Amino acid sequence: MLARVRPGAPPPVEAFKREGADFVVAGTLAELVDGMNKLTDEPLLDLDGMRRQIEARDRELDNPFAKDPQIVAIHAPAPTAATGSSASPPRTRSSTRRTGRSSPSG
C-alpha cells in the first residue's frame, strides 16, 4: 500500500523507462517529439500537430457534452463509499506540470 503513495513509477516501470530501447521520457513536448522522432529513420511526428491534438483533447475534457466514450467515462461520477459520487474534476494534460512529463507549452 505504501508503494502507491511514493513518487515515481514502480521499479519495473522505472527500469523499462531507463533501459527500454523505444521508450522516451522528456520534460517538454518539444523534447518528447524530438526524442520520438530520433527512434525512426525519418521524422514522423510534427511538434505543432502534436500540440494541436493535445489542446483539442484538453478542450474535450472541458466540454460536458463531449461524445468521446473515454471523455464521457471521465465525466461520469464514480461512486465512493462516503458520498456515492466522485467530486474530482478531470485534469487536462496542459494543466498537469509533473517532472518528466510533457506539456503542450513545449
- If DSSP states are collapsed to H, E and C, what string results for the chain? CHHHCCCCCCHHHHHHHHHCCCCCCCCCHHHHHHHHHCCCCCCCCCHHHHHHHHHHHHHHHHCCCCCCHHHHHHHCCCCCCCCCCCCCCCCCHHHCCCCCCCCCCC
pLDDT for res 74: 82
pLDDT tens for residues 69-101?
988 888 887 776 666 555 566 666 666 555 455
Q: Tell whether the model's pLDDT for residue 1 goes beyond 60.
A: no
